[in-house]
Structure formats: C-alpha cells, structure tokens
Copies of this chain bind each other. A is one copy, B any other.
C-alpha cells in the first residue's frame, strides 16, 4: 500500500516533488493539479494524471497527502487553509514573519477537516529551524548564527530583472569566509549584515542600456542590496545560459555555547548544506514530511504541525526497530 501523493502547482518545486516521490519506494504520484490547461502540462510520471485544480476536492479520497507547491506571497496563504479541510497537506510557506498567522488559519481548517497540515517545510524554514532548536536546547547559554550560500537568491534575481535595461539577471548570496571562520572558532563575534554576506550579480543588459546606471541602481536598492557589498558583472546571454542556469544553494547554522560550572568549556555545533538544486532539495524534505503527515493522520492526529512537532521516526522509510538497530 503506497502513500498516494498529489501535487498542486507544477513549477520547479512541483517537479522536484515528483522526482522525490520516485526516490521513495513507499509512495506513488497519483495526480498533479494545475491552474493551467491540463493538456498543456507535461509531467514525467507515466502512471500519474494531470487535472485542473478545480477537480482536486472531488479526488480527496484518492489522495493521502496533497503537496502544495505554490508561492508564499499569494498562493499558500489561501491554498493551505482551503485544502487542509479536505486533505493532509504539506507546504513550504517561507515568509518567516507571517508564520504565526498562517499557522492559525491552517490549524483551524485542518482541525475542522480532521487532517494533518504541515507548514513551512523545507530547509529554511525547515532543517535549519530544527537545527536552531536542537542546538538551543542543548546549549541554552550560547549564540546562533545562520549563513546562506553560496547560492542563487530568486527574490534578488527578480528584483534586478525589474530594473530598466536589464534583460536577465542572476544573484548569488555568498557567506563571508572570515565571519564564518570566527564563528566556527567559537569567538561569538557581533556581525553586521555587511560582515556576514556579500552579493554577486550577473546581468545581461540591453545593448543600449547605461551599465553604470544599472550597477548604481542595483548597489543602492533598499533592503535588497544597500546593506551589502555587491559586485556586478555584465555578461552575454550566452554566458548566462552556459554558466548560470542552475539553482544551487546552501548554508550554515552554527551555535556556539559554553558548559561547565563556570562556563569554562566551549562547544560548537554546526549544520551545513551544499545543494546543487535548491528546489529539488526542498522538495525532498517536503516529501519526507508528507510520509510523516500520512502516518500522524493514520494515528488520528489532526491540526497544523511544523517540523518542530514531528518526531523523527515518522520521517523514515525504516521501521522503529530497524532504526534502533542500525541508525542509533
């Protein structure tokens, strides 16, 4: 009996979930739901079908977990509460500041429908959050650091693309090595935004554009770039295609803290990710939590859950006995 998965939204994340399901022998992809014309959406899984999103609720008894692959700005705040009434769901809602209100809305819907709804699953929020929690619980007297990169920030790339004269752009966030080293040595430095990360932007500009002006506009863009040291490179469309089509990312969560009667011993806990494909890794985390959502629902649990609420045993393909024998 496989866990039957549905995907809502077939972009980078949806395709990533499809690939992750293929890697998990206890799951099968049943359906992909789209807002586009289903006939126009080509998926990879031969045994699954594409439907219009309006058909989803009718299929609620054929799907064990519906994975919501929309965006956090406008899709998920509406979709997750809506579908949590009918399905066990998992989303990757990543607007950190709005998580409490999203949790509230989803919790009410999921309890009404007696379903399990996992929100904010991925790597940050997600695995990074978990590592912050574990490290804080172990070393209550300590200091947390999160560094991102090297990797592509889609939000920053989009912001640059909106500048006049920019045809395409790719922005890399890069952690500053000296800052990372000081943190790893347990020096607990106070670091400004500028001291933690630099930004590197590759731009394809219109041939008539004023490159100096574009560069100035990028470097002074409020919130996105003004607090960072930013390097701008103008490249050709061919170079962009050849060298910058991937979506690598990663980062580091580090906590250092002290133990001992007089705080005499120092400890450093570090978790890091080096990812060739940000959406596929995020999808892989989501898919593991879909297994947990299914199992917790089978046990009679309901309501909104985050990664903090999920005992690790629910995530694994292996039985509790196998895990204790082989992985503990």
Among A140, A184, A273, A315, residue most surrounded by chain B Cβ atoms (within 10 Å): A140
Chain B residue numbers with a CB within 8 Å of A325 are 99-100
Given A266-B276, A273-B269, A277-B260: A316 in contact with B136 (beta carbons within 8 A): yes
Give chain A interface residues in 308-325, CB to chain B under 8 Å.
Answer: 308-313, 315-318, 320-321, 323-325
Chain B residue numbers with a CB within 8 Å of A141 are 23
Counting CB contacts under 8 A, is A117 at the interface? no
Chain B residue numbers with a CB within 8 Å of A18 are 261
Q: When chains A and B are docked, how far (Å) is the Cα of A265 from the Cα of B281?
A: 9
Counting CB contacts under 8 A, is A139 at the interface? yes
Chain B residue numbers with a CB within 8 Å of A19 are 259-261
Give chain A interface residues in 280-328, CB to chain B under 8 Å.
Answer: 280-281, 283-285, 288, 291, 306-313, 315-318, 320-321, 323-325, 327-328
Chain B residue numbers with a CB within 8 Å of A309 are 311-313, 320
Smallest CB gap from A252: residue in B: B270
Among A259, A321, A327, residue most surrounded by chain B Cβ atoms (within 10 Å): A259
The answer to whether B268 and A274 have CB atoms under 8 Å apart is: yes
Counting CB contacts under 8 A, is A163 at the interface? no
A127-135, A174-182, A207-215 - the one binding chain B: A127-135
The answer to whether B127 and A134 have CB atoms under 8 Å apart is: yes
Counting CB contacts under 8 A, is A242 at the interface? no
The answer to whether B280 and A96 have CB atoms under 8 Å apart is: no
Which one of B44, B281, B317 lies within 8 Å of A267 (CB-CB)? B281
Counting CB contacts under 8 A, is A105 at the interface? no
Q: When chains A and B are docked, how far (Å) is the Cα of A59 from the Cα of B96?
A: 46
Counting CB contacts under 8 A, is A16 at the interface? yes
